[in-house]
Amino acid sequence: MKFLAGDYQVAVIGAGHAGIEAALASARLGCRTVVFTLNLDWIANVACNPSIGGTSKGHLVREIDALGGEMGKAADSTLIQSRMLNSGKGPAVHSLRAQIDRRKYSEYMKHTLEKCKNLDLKQAEIVDLKRTKDGRWELTTHLDAIYLADAVIISTGTFLNGKIFVGDKSFSGGPDGMFPAVRLGEALKKLNIPLRRFKTGTPPRVNALSIDYSRLEAQPGDEKIVPFSFETRRQLKNKVVCYITYTNEKTKQIILDNLHRSPLYSGEIEGVGPRYCPSIEDKIVRFKDKERHQIFLEPCGLNTEEVYLQGMSSSLPEDVQYAFVRTIKGLENVKIMRPAYAIEYDCVDPLYLKPTLELMYEPMLYGAGQFNGSSGYEEAAAQGIVAGINAARKVQGKSEIIFSRTESYIGTLIDDLVTKGCQDPYRMMTSRSEYRLVLRQDNADLRLTQKGYEIGLISEKRYKAFLKKKAAIEDEYKRMSKVIIPPIKEVNDKLQELGTAPIETGVKLSELLKRPQVTYSDIKPFDKDAPDYDDEVFQQVEIMLKYEGYIKRQNAQIQEIHRLESKLIPEDIDYSQIIGLRKEAIEKLSKIRPVNVGQASRISGVSPADISVLLIYLSRLGK
C-alpha cells in the first residue's frame, strides 16, 4: 500500500559524487532536502579508481572547494599519497592528484551527509517519477513510499539501466556488484526525456601480497603536499608509495589473439565508450606500433591489500585477464580479487539541458554527473554543486546562477555540454579552456570564493580569511614593484648560478621575477624587508608578474566574451522569424536555446555572420 513518506523542497536521486555535492549545496542553502541511494554503505564509492584530481580534474576540485563544496576536504582527510602533476610545465597545467583511502572517503562523505542540517539520507530505489497536478514532483520508491518535492536532481551515475560485461557474460548490474536502477529509466522515458547509451569500464583489482614490488618502479608522493581545500591548514603526509610497470609484446599478443572474445569488438556492447580513457584492448588496437603501455599500481586503502591496476580497463573474459596480466613485470604470480568489467548505462543528451543544468522542457528537473553525459568523479561533483545551487535558488524564488567559461573550468565543462553536446563520455582537459592561463588551480579561491560567499555556501569566517589573503596579494604586488635589489656580488653570483645575466645597477624585484630562470625563493634572502606572508601569497604575485603580458591579453579576450554574454536572448524568441539567419543556425539555435549571444556564438553550425544577424535583431527589439 502506498503512503506519503515525506515532503521536501529538493530531492536528489543518487549519492555518488554529483548527488553528494547537490544535496549538501541545497541543504546548506536552507532547503529541506532528501537524497536517495541504493545502498548507504556505498555512498561516494570510487568504483573506477581510488584517486581524486588529476590533469584539469584537480582544477575542478579546487573550484568546488572555493565555492563551498566538500570534495576537496574529503580528499585531504582521506589522503594516502599526493602528487602535483605537470610540475615541470607552466602553472596553467599544474594539477593535484591524490590517492585516497576509498572506504574512508566513503565513510567521510556518508557522515557529512548524516550531520548536515536540513538533509535527510534515505536508502531506497526510486522506481517512478512523475509530475503532480499542482506541478510538483512525486517520487515512488520500490517499497511504495511516496515523496513529494518541488525540484528533483537526477544523479544516477552508471546505475541507470546498468549492464555489466565480462567477456561473453553480461547481466544487469551497477558498479562493484550493486544492482541497477532499471524502473527509473522507464519512468524517464515516459516523460519523453531523450536518453542514450554510454559505456565505461574498470581494470582488475589484485592482491598486493601477490605482487613482486622489487621488480617495479617506485612512484613516491611529493615532499611538500599542497592540499585540495583552501581551508586545510594542517600539514598532510604521504602514507604509501605507488608503483609503475609496463605491458609488453606478450601482453599485446594475448589481447590481440582474444579480441573476438571481447564484447567491445563482438558488437555486444552498444554504448559509446570514453575516448580519452580507453580499455587496454582498445589501446592495443589503436596504437599498434606502441611497444608498451604504462600501468600504475595504486593501493585502494590502508586497511586492505587490494591494489588497482590503473590503465588496464578491460571487458575481456576473466581467463584472458589472468593470462595478459601475468605477462607483466612484477605481476607474474598476481591474484585477481575483482576482475575488470565494462558497464553500459543510460544518460541524457546534454543539449536538452540549460546552463543551470535544468532540463529544457521539464521545469524543476535537473541533471548532474554521468547522467549528463560526462565521465569522472570531479566532473560529476562540479555539476552536482551547480545543480544543487540552482535547484535551491529556484525553489526559493531567487535568480539562478550560470557559471561562465571565462571564470572557471566548471563553467567550461557545463558550457561545453549544453552548447556543443558530446558523442562520447565527456572528460575535462586543460586544453578545453581558452583561458587556462587565468583559470589556474592555484587561484581558484581568488576567482570563485566571492561568488560562493554571495550564494551562501562560504562562511563569514572563511570569507574574512579570503579577503585578508587577497589584500596581502595586492599589497605584495605593489611592494615588489618598488623594492630595488642592489647589484651586489652575492646577488650576481646567484643569478649566474641560475643561468641568467648579472645586473649592473639596482633592479626592481618585480623585473627580476619576470626572468623565467628566477623564482621568489631564489631572491628572498636578498629581500630584507619581506613581509611574513604565507608562501601562497608570494606564489600568486610571482605568477602574476611572470605572465603579466599573457594574462592581460587573455583578460582582454574575456572582456569581449563578457560583452557578448551580457546580451541576453529572450526565452520565447522565434529564430525562424529572424530574416538572414541560415537554416542550420535556425535549427541549432531553436534546439539548444542559448541564454545569451556569447553561448550562441559557441554553437557548432552557428557562424559569425549568423551572430551579426542575431545582434542586429536583438538591438531592434531593444533587448
Per-residue model confidence (pLDDT) at position 551 = 92
Question: What distance lies between CA 116 and its chain's CA centroid?
Answer: 23
Residue ranges in the chain whose pLDDT is less than 70: 276, 623
Torsion of CA 418, 424, 427, 433, to 10 degrees: -50
Q: How many angstroms separate the CA atoms of 62 and 229, rounded?
A: 6
Q: Which DSSP category does 374 fall into? A: B
Residue 287 confidence (pLDDT):
87
Distance from C-alpha of 147 to C-alpha of 331, rounded to nearest angstrom: 50
In the prediction, which pLDDT does 623 show? 47
Domains (range + CATH), the chain: 205-344 (2.40.30.260), 460-549 (1.10.10.1800), 566-621 (1.10.150.570)
pLDDT recorded at residue 57: 96
Contacts of 109 (CB under 8 A, 6+ apart): 20, 43, 44, 70, 74
Q: How many helices (H) and strands (E) in the chain?
A: 21, 22
pLDDT of 267 reads 80
Work out the mean pLDDT of the chain and round it to a whole number: 95
- pLDDT, position 157: 96
SS3 (DSSP) at 290:
coil
Q: Which residues contact 292 (CB under 8 A, 6 or more apart)?
A: 246, 247, 248
Sign of the dihedral through C-alpha 283, 241, 539, 58: positive
> Do 52 and 61 contact (CB within 8 A), yes or no?
yes
